[in-house]
């Protein structure tokens, strides 16, 4: 009981602190928007060959050099030969502390769980974890398909996700499922899945997601060996700069496992059922210095509590993740 109270207290502290730190999850902070806006005129993002970016107005372009007006440095002349790209900034909400933040496909993910945001068609991305790779393809604006595996290509998991539009731009929904097999390591005998649904409050810069699902695993050759668990999750992200974000992810589940064994000296089969409670807390940081790449590190911890013996097994699970858009 003390463990449950501690978990509830940790989640309450995080949710309350997250909402207090992000007062415009449900409403736009006009003061911050005004501060981030250089002016009411058309703004541009000028990117130099060395990846230095300027949020600015363009005052003059004579073909050889560009005269820009920035908020912090004033007027600057930049030779055209040093400029890699010039793009319009149509949404000034994308300005964070004077820097440009571009929402990409990575904003649909936390450390492990996903949220209600949809991938735009063609916004495909890959993930490289310490455990293995992932690839996710946006077939339409609201439907995506992904594949997850290990570096030895077994086991592997197929991910399906369908997002839904809401009349409120700050509320997003999605449903989906993970379906997997043990692959060649277990002669494809073991299977599993995790159907889920979630709701997300906020925008791509700051949001909070509540998810629920049911995980299961079983064996084709022995129906008595199986496990199932209703799973809940609270996750969120908040920008701490245009290129860095704080991320929190979590999973909680009541696990019921069933197993059977045959006594080699008799014809009797022994059946056993165990019940446990498991949770994983995954705080971390994400750094995105380029539009098509990002790096994330999470200091995760996992605990599994046997409800019969009241004993707990706890271990760290640090995660390093590289995101690539293609």
Same-domain check for residues 92 and 118: no
Same-domain check for residues 225 and 317: yes
Half-sphere exposure of 254 (CA within 13 A, CB side): 5
pLDDT number for residue 101: 61
pLDDT number for residue 23: 41
Residue 108 domain-assigned (yes or no): yes
Q: Which runs of E-coded beta strand occur in the chain?
A: 43-48, 53-61, 65-70, 74-79, 83-89, 95-96, 99-100, 125-129, 133-138, 143-149, 156-164, 171-181, 190-202, 206-219, 226-239, 244-262, 269-290, 293-306, 311-325
Q: Answer left, alpha or beta for residue 202, where phi above 0 means left and psi between -120 and 50 means alpha.
A: left
Give 269 or 170, the one with higher predicted confidence.
170
> Which of 66, 100, 134 finishes a domain?
100
> Which of 78, 100, 122 finishes a domain?
100
Question: Is the pLDDT confidence value at 111 over 80?
Answer: yes
User: Could you tell me the two tokens for 19?
Assistant: 């909402």
Same-domain check for residues 135 and 94: no
CATH value at residue 128: 2.40.160.40
Opening angle at CA 165, ends 161 and 171, nearest 5: 100
Residue 255 domain-assigned (yes or no): yes
Residue 15 domain-assigned (yes or no): no
Q: DSSP string of 187-235? A: TT-EEEEEEEEEEEEE-SSEEEEEEEEEEEEEESS-TT-EEEEEEEEEE
- What's 304's DSSP letter? E
Same-domain check for residues 280 and 158: yes
Residue 169 domain-assigned (yes or no): yes
How far is 242 from 165, CA to CA, in rounded Å?
26
pLDDT digits (tens, 9 = 90+) for 274-303: 999 999 999 999 998 777 889 999 999 999
pLDDT digits (tens, 9 = 90+) for 2-27: 544 545 454 554 445 444 444 433 34
How far is 9 from 163, CA to CA, in rounded Å?
31
- What's 35's DSSP letter? H
Same-domain check for residues 53 and 153: no
CATH value at residue 46: 2.30.30.520
pLDDT number for residue 197: 97
**pLDDT band, residue 202 (cuts 50/70/90):** very high
Residue 67 domain-assigned (yes or no): yes
> Which of 48, 70, 100 finishes a domain?
100
Same-domain check for residues 207 and 141: yes
Same-domain check for residues 264 and 120: yes
Counting the structural domains of the chain, the total is 2
Residue 286 domain-assigned (yes or no): yes
pLDDT digits (tens, 9 = 90+) for 47-69: 888 878 788 899 999 989 999 99
Same-domain check for residues 51 and 196: no
Mean pLDDT of 192-203: 96
Residues 6+ apart with CB under 8 A from 77: 65, 66, 67
Same-domain check for residues 211 and 313: yes
**pLDDT band, residue 246 (cuts 50/70/90):** very high
Taking all residues of the chain, what is their mean pLDDT, rounded to a whole number? 84
Residue 5 domain-assigned (yes or no): no
Owning domain of residue 55: 33-100
Same-domain check for residues 158 and 248: yes
Same-domain check for residues 89 and 161: no
Same-domain check for residues 163 and 181: yes
Question: Is the pLDDT confidence value at 117 over 70?
Answer: yes
Residue 93 domain-assigned (yes or no): yes
């Amino acid at each position: 009981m003390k463990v449950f109270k501690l978990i509830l207290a940790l989640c309450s502290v995080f949710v309350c602190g997250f909402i207090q730190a992000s007062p415009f999850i449900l409403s736009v902070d006009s003061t911050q928007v005004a501060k981030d806006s250089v002016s009411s005129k058309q703004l541009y993002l000028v990117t130099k060959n060395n990846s230095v970016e300027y949020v600015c107005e363009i005052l003059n372009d004579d073909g050889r050099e560009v005269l820009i007006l920035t908020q912090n440095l004033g007027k600057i002349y930049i030779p055209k030969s040093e400029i890699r790209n010039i793009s319009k900034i149509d949404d000034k909400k994308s300005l964070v502390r004077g820097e440009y933040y571009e929402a990409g496909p990575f904003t649909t993910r936390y450390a492990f769980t996903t949220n209600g945001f949809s991938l735009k068609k063609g916004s495909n991305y890959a993930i490289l974890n310490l455990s293995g790779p992932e690839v996710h393809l946006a077939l339409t604006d609201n439907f995506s398909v992904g594949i997850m595996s290990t570096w030895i290509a077994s086991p592997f998991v197929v991910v399906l996700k369908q997002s839904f539009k809401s009349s409120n731009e700050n509320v997003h929904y999605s449903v989906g499922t993970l379906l997997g097999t043990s692959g060649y390591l277990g002669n494809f005998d073991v299977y599993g899945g995790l159907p889920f649904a979630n709701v997300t409050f906020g925008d791509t810069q700051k949001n909070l997601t509540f998810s629920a699902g049911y995980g299961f695993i079983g064996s084709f050759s022995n129906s008595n060996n199986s496990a199932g668990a209703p799973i809940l999750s609270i996750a969120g992200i908040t920008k701490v700069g245009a290129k860095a974000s704080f991320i929190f992810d979590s999973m909680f589940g009541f696990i019921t496992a069933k197993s059977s064994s045959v006594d080699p000296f008799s014809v009797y089969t022994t059946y056993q059922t165990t019940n446990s409670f498991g949770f994983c807390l995954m705080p971390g940081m994400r750094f995105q210095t380029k539009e098509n790449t990002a790096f994330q590190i999470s200091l995760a911890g996992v605990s599994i509590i046997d409800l019969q013996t009241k004993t707990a097994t706890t271990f760290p699970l640090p995660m390093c993740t590289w995101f690539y858009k293609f």
